[in-house]
Amino acid sequence: MAPSIGFDPERIKDKAKKDLLYLLEGIRGKKNVVLEQSLAGPLNLIVTFPTLQDYGTDKVFFLENDNADVSQRNVVFIARGENAKQAQLIADLLSLELDESFADLYLRSDPTPTYLMARALMLVQQKHGLFPRITGKGDNAKKLADLLARMRQELIAGEDTNGNSRGGLTHSATTENLIIIDREIDYATPLLTQLTYEGLVDEIVGIKNNRADVDTAIVGAAPQAAATSTKPAAPASAPTKKRNILLDSSDKLYAQLRDTNFAIVGGLLNKVARRLQTDYDSRHTTKTTPELAEFVKKLPAYQAEQQSLKVHTGLAEDIMKHTRTEQFSRILEVQQNLAAGADPSTQHNTIEELISRDTPLTEVLRLLCLESCISGGIKPRELENFKRMILQAYGYQHLLTLNALEKLQLLLSRTSPLAVMIPMTGATSNTGTKTNYTYLRKALRLIVDEVNEHDPNDIAYKQYVTSIIRSGNANNIVLNGGGASTGWFGFEDAVKHVRGQTFDELQKGEDKAAKARALLSGSGEKKTVFVVFLGGITFTEVAALRFIAKKEEGQSCSISANARANTNRSESARNSMTSSSTDHDDKLSSLSSLSSKATSPTDFGSAPKEEARSAKRRTYNVRPKVSIPADLIPSEYARQCISAGESSRLNPYALHPEEHSLLRRHINYQQVTTYLNIRNGILRLWVRNPLIGVMLDEAVGCAKDARWFDIANVCYEWLVRRGYINYGCLENLNGSKKSKRGRPGKRKRKTVVVIGAGMSGLGCARQLEGLFAQYEDVFLEKGEDAPQVIMLEGRDRVGGRVYSRGFQSKPKSTTLLPGSRYTAEMGGMIITGFDRGNPLNIIVRGQLALPYHALKPDTTIYDATGMPVDAERDQHAEQLFNYILDRVSEYKFNIPIPSTAEGDKDLLDAGRELSGGDGFKSILELEEGAAAAPDTASAVPQTQQMQMVPVSSDRLTGRAHLEPGVPAVHTAAFRAQEIGWKLRPGIGIEQDLDLEAAVRSQYATLGSVVDEAIRQFSRIVDFAPLDLRLINWHVANLEYSNATTCNTLSLGGWDLDAGNEWEGKHTMVTGGYQQPLTVRRRSNVKRIAYSTDQANSRSIIECENGEVIEADYVVSSVPLGVLKKQTIQFEPPLPDFKLGAIQRIGFGILNKVVLIYEEPFWDQGRDIFGTLRDPVNRFSVDQTEYMQHRGRFFQWFNCTKTSGVPALLALMAGDAAFYTEKTSDTELVEEATKVLKSVFGFQIPQPKESLVTRWGHDSFAYGSYSYTGAKFQPDDYEEMAKPIGNLFFAGEHTCGTHPATVHGAYISGLRAASEVLDAMIGPIEIPEPLIQPKESKRKSETALTQLDPRQERLNAYEFDVWNHIYTILGDRPYKPLNNYANPYRIYSKEKWEEAKRKCDQGRRPGKGKPISNEVKKMVTKMWTDASETEKKPYNDTATAQKQAYAAALAEYNEKSAIWDKDALNVRAEYEKTNPSVPGLGELPDSPSRRDRKAKRVSGYAENDGSGSEMEI
């Protein structure tokens, strides 16, 4: 048997050609060939028409045209079936060219492509031996591998005796392995725009069978000779204005360009042009005849290269026209934001705008599908909105398109079970149901920065690739590598977060034969790795695979390339999605906006040192606007900034009270807008990538003018110190700044002791360490080392009331990540939404990428009989209960919100500010003036206080959801009737509740007044016991959120934190929390001797185990329950204000009973269900009888997904929580089982394990969480937080805005850390004047920004150039305002008054006129109820407005393009007549900033041509 030869793609081509010609030769005489049209291209790749003629072909016809003439006796038909086994060859790329393979596999579930691929691979195996190893990912990939195994068996079974097919039985000595990737595992990558040259040619022009049809106006006409020699086999005549160009490696220039990032294509073409010119010019220097002969010999090559250069320069210029369009940049921006994990809703305005600008539908759908794939679906309402817009804008025929996309799971609603991002469910641990990009982005570092496009060290330089295997466009690719394969080794975790089955199989061959083959074929040869993509591949992925192959050459090779290539990566950077423009002298410089260059720093180590507290003014080596991307239109930049403000718990349009008091002496109202623009800009930097801290110079670069650098610095410092930026798990904060000024230990070092390692204590300690690292220089200047932080924890675990307790039971098969424990949450469990500022969003999703499960709030409530309660009846009960809460809200404390200075909303929305602002009175002066003379008060803008009313209750947390509005505007009877209740006979809609007496009682609590309201309601409507059970279920839910019975809750402050809720789905972390911090455990503190004098005094902390620690500062984060119990002795005793607050704030109990089973018997599709509990007397309609039982096992959580084992968690709330404390486990489990039996039947098993909490007895908590007790005072939480001397306080009970929560605890830790730092180094110092006066702008710029002289000259020159341009051309045309035409909006405007009138019905006296939110709700209701005929005129008007906008936009685009062109000409003219001459002081290449910074800066530099000094 002949030795198996190594794989050579050329042989495949040869074989295919020979097979075809052999077929033709076998038919004697002349013949006509009838060809399936789709085969023309592939055929063209292996044989030319003249060759076919040589083999007797007369004419070629397309099968589809039905016109095969019979001019010849022989007619040869070649259809797909004949050719399926032949693969198209593109050097290292083979493709089956099955155009429909994607739709076949994923839409129609037709496995034909898998079968055809298996056949092709079998042929390879028969020829070259078995693939020793087959590794793969995805369900179809697994099917392909199984099919291959089966074909192999069939081959063996049917093998002929002379051993013709024995190649299928022995290992290949030349093949390393086969990797099969199912396209389905990563839909996101093909949805992203390809940024390699070949990728963009494909996107914009389209490549088919290595060919592209391009306008001759772009690439010129084809040279005569070439036209004849490459005439295609197919008879299709080229269209007159198109040229069919060949794009393959036979074109040397194309081979060089195809895989490069488009940003550098211009430079490469320039270089080639120069070289060609030099080579060509060499003819002038030829002196001798042989030299001339040599030149003439090379001439055809020159000409071919010249021709190719012309083609690619033309193509590149054409592509550039597209990439320069605003549409292209916006699409790219959205893609990159989504890929980087930005909040998808922040991208929706842009997508909507793209739709209204008639962007091609495919582009819009790509964006939406991308969002859906990456973010686990699109929010239902938003998806519906987009679908509606698409149908209206592009036509209703696309209903089918949308349907198909949904079927493909490319466009899903978040509520769809298919969209849920559960990394691992299903039968085997190796099967993911969905590709989890959030996890993979972090785990595989998919977003890459700091890449040099000229010499990339990572495959991601091709684009922002989000694929797990970033590789190879066609159906199959072959690469050469060498060495041993390792399968998925090292990436097991990552592949589990990718959809579909994972496999890694060794194929056993005949050992002896394998050895012989290895011997004969020689050793040490490079081996081939086959990477097969089922369902398609993009050119960018092909480029990435080639890149890996090149890198891996000569090494042991495995194409698990994604991960290996990542090992060299630096930190992914914040602005990987923003543009960069460094290639200023490139012909195609503007293309660099496609670059993935670094734009931000990776650590604090290189941050400029803080000097803010020194009296002398700081100098900055920063260009204004350096952190404002030049390629973002101002309004888009503003939108991102505002969204960042909102995501940071700050009002983007107004100062925080502390900012107000910090700045009011130094700025005036007019300047607030500019300040807010800077502040929101800094927050934008942080929110876009919280993996790395924001540096001072980045922050200062958010100012548009150097006059504002000082205030930007103050703002930055405030944000850092208060924990609005640079917080959480930032690796680089700690340990990056090893002191460069001598060894530590020689200097003094202060100690901060944090007591308690719960969320607040851990958060505080970590934040302190981070702050100390950032302020190290300040300590060094004081002659101290950065302080140390010691944590003391009484338990032998960390986490405090966040406790993931492990089970003894283990599941039959695991569904959790490796390393996860099987646990249930005994304490804090639900993250109540990530949006709108929850700091846990940054930590859980942005930094740690913890897996989590989004909870579905849909609840079925079961009655005590086990019957599900009718949903409508439940809704009536809930709405009535909300009305009661609404009524009770009238008696809430009126807590004034401090009014602070606001910016100009319109300017902030537009990303602009007024240039003036100097010379006005400062905020303080105006405020003082207003206080002194009330009649001038109007000079001080007032903030209107918003009232909030409860509109619904959150079933997952029991908290009331509030919206702005006027409390209880309608009478009780009117509202009850509106909800759907039937009024008792004789009761009119004017009938109302009278709660005054109940409220005036000295024992009034929330509970007593609610009970009275229910009693009075029973006179208005006829409550059945079931109604009361339902209403009391909602009361129990409220008791759960407060960890106490309603009749201990403050009437005025029960919803103190209202209005501070986050948004977004509630979630639970999967697999429990684990904390890696080092903490001194079992250090139960029993005495704290602190100092009431904050400066220079020591404290002593004594622990029960005898440990005594001295500290300069102490942070107590022990729970309120511990403080109430007084188990810690404070010396001196805590002052009265503190003791008062400790007493008045309540500390309640919530308990849990967790039951673990062998198998689940409840609905796995639901996350929660409720059960109604009977009062003592089942049929009672007496409200007081419901209190005792209503909270017992009233709410059940299905924890199977987060625990890893079938588990149910029941809540014991209100009275029931206290009952749990004194009841045995056996009794509780018995009662729980009884409740479950009533719902699921008597056959359900006993739990195999149970866990019960008794937080009231926990000596490190003495309860669950705080609540506002009956005697609560509005500022009690603030009093709780106040430090006393060097003793500081943290903990959920010190956070009035978010008490009783994990995030509240964390926020309190940040606050305490900030207070400790202030105590150590003093408050933020403010230079005077804080904003440099305008008239000294030039002077101040020089003083502040010591730029290098060259940069300075260029800045000044640039200024003059633009002045000149504006003088000649006037202003650049203004973009028309988008009116965002929307039928609802037009309707709402028209029907506003009518809606207002409707709101007046059933209104209670004294409730005033309806406020806008009420009216808005009414309009929405009217619109929803309106018929299609009623809606039609509004739909028509909206369409007309949209069209008008599109026309205005087109005009603007045209005019602005002309203006831009004219500006370039004016500029060129100016530069010619007024060149900028280098000054004497300029060093040739003095970099004013370190290299990395220069690179970063270039990303944001104004793209105005002045940036050549930024080159690197």
Ligand X SMILES: Cc1cc2nc3c(=O)[nH]c(=O)nc-3n(C[C@H](O)[C@H](O)[C@H](O)COP(=O)(O)OP(=O)(O)OC[C@H]3O[C@@H](n4cnc5c(N)ncnc54)[C@H](O)[C@@H]3O)c2cc1C
Which residues are at the interface with ligand X (CB under 6 A)?
755-761, 792-795, 800-802, 827-830, 1083-1085, 1117-1119, 1122, 1128, 1150, 1152, 1255, 1260-1261, 1264-1265, 1291-1292, 1300-1303, 1305
Least distance in Å: CB of 803 to ligand X? 8
Instruction: Closer to ligand X by CB, 78 or 1300: give it.
Output: 1300
Instruction: Give the closest residue to 1299 by CA, choosing from 1276, 1316, 1282.
Output: 1276
Rounded to 5°, the CA angle 247-252-255 comes to 60
Instruction: Please identify, using beta-carbon distances, which residue of 821 and 1254 lies nearer to ligand X.
Output: 1254
- The pair of structure tokens assigned to 1143 is 């007493």
For the beta carbon of residue 619, count every other beta carbon within 10 angstroms: 13
Measured from the CB atom, is 702 or 1115 closer to ligand X? 1115
Q: Kindly tell me which of 655 and 1046 has the beta carbon lying closer to ligand X.
A: 1046
CB of 837 to ligand X, least distance (A): 14
Shortest separation between residue 364's beta carbon and ligand X, angstroms: 38
The total of other beta-carbon atoms located within 10 Å of residue 1502's CB is: 17
**From the CB of 1153, what's the least distance to ligand X, in Å?**
11
CB of 835 to ligand X, least distance (A): 15
Q: How far is the CB of 1211 from ligand X (least distance, A)?
A: 8
For ligand X, give the closer residue by CB, 624 or 1304: 1304
Of 377 and 1291, which CB lies nearer to ligand X in the complex structure? 1291
Query: What's the CA gap between 1128 and 1122, in Å, rounded?
Result: 8
Shortest spacing between CB 825 and ligand X, in angstroms: 7
Q: How far is the CB of 1266 from ligand X (least distance, A)?
A: 8
Residue closer to ligand X by CB (options 96, 802) is 802
At a CB cut-off of 8 Å and minimum separation 6, what does 1119 contact?
756, 758, 800, 801, 1147, 1260, 1261, 1262, 1263, 1291, 1292, 1293
Question: What's the min distance (Å) between Cβ of 1255 and ligand X?
Answer: 5
Q: Coil, strand or helix: which one is 975?
A: helix
Q: How many CA atoms lie within 13 A of 58 on its CB side?
A: 15
Q: How far is the CB of 793 from ligand X (least distance, A)?
A: 5
Closest contact distance (angstroms) between CB of 1094 and ligand X is: 23
At closest approach, how far in Å is the CB of 1292 from ligand X? 4
- Residue located via tokens 């930024």: 1510
Residue type for 1145, please?
I
Instruction: Give min distance, CB of 1155 to ligand X, in A.
Output: 16
Residue nearest to ligand X (CB): 758
Smaller CB separation from ligand X, 1116 or 1183: 1116
Closer by beta carbon to ligand X, 1152 or else 1489: 1152
What is the SS3 assignment for 916?
Answer: coil
**Chain position carrying tokens 């305490």:** 1312
Minimum CB separation of residue 1125 from ligand X in Å reads: 9
Beta-bridge partners for 1099: 1111
DSSP letters spanning 1131-1183: ESPPPHHHHHHHHHEEEE--EEEEEE-SS--S-TT-SEEEE----SSTT---G
Q: What is the full DSSP assignment across 469-535?
A: S-----SEEEEEE-S---TTTT-HHHHHTSBB-EEEEEPP--HHHHHHHHHHH-SS--EEEEEEEES
Nearest-approach distance from CB 1271 to ligand X, in angstroms = 22
Residue 399, number of CB atoms within 10 A of its CB: 12
Degrees to nearest 5, angle at CA 314 with 308 and 316: 100
Least Å distance, CB 1078 to ligand X, is 15
- Return the number of the residue (167 or 1214) whose C-beta is nearest ligand X: 1214
> Taking phi first (over 0 means left), then psi (-120 to 50 degrees means alpha), and beta for anything else, what does residue 474 get?
left
**DSSP symbol at 902:** B
Nearest of 1466, 1446, 1442 to residue 1383 by alpha carbon: 1442
| 311 versus 762: smaller Cβ distance to ligand X | 762
Comparison of 1084 and 1273: residue with beta carbon closer to ligand X: 1084
Could you tell me if 29 and 56 are in contact, meaning their C-beta atoms sit under 8 angstroms apart? yes
User: For residue 800, what are the CA distances in angstroms to 33, 765, 1147?
Assistant: 80, 14, 15
**Closest distance of CB 770 from ligand X, Å:** 18
Rounded-to-integer distance, Cα 1265 and Cα 827, Å: 10
Question: Please, which residues bridge with residue 1089 across strands?
Answer: 1100, 1131
- In angstroms, the CA 646 to CA 648 distance is 5
Question: Helix 634-646 crosses helix 669-688 at what angle (to 10 degrees)?
Answer: 80
820: nearest Cα among 423, 367, 495, 334: 423
Distance set, CA 955 to CA 188, 412, 830, 1041, 1472 (Å): 34, 25, 12, 10, 72
Pick 675 or 1073: Cβ nearer ligand X: 1073
Nearest CB to ligand X, comparing residues 1292 and 1352: 1292
Q: Which is nearer to ligand X, 432 or 1304 (CB)?
A: 1304
Minimal distance in Å, beta carbon 424 to ligand X? 24
Beta carbon nearer to ligand X, 624 or 828: 828
Alpha carbon distance 29, 913 (integer Å) = 83
End-to-end CA distance of the chain: 60
Give whichever of 93 and 792 is closer to ligand X, judged by the CB atom: 792
Burial class (CB in 10 A: 0-12, 13-18, 19+), 1339: exposed
Closest listed residue to residue 830, CA positions, set 1164, 1190, 1153, 1197: 1197
Closer residue to ligand X, CB minimum distance, 1116 or 1382: 1116
Can you state the angle between helices 871-888 and 1025-1042, rounded to 10 degrees?
Answer: 60
Q: Directed axis angle between helix 348-356 and helix 380-394, to 10°?
A: 10
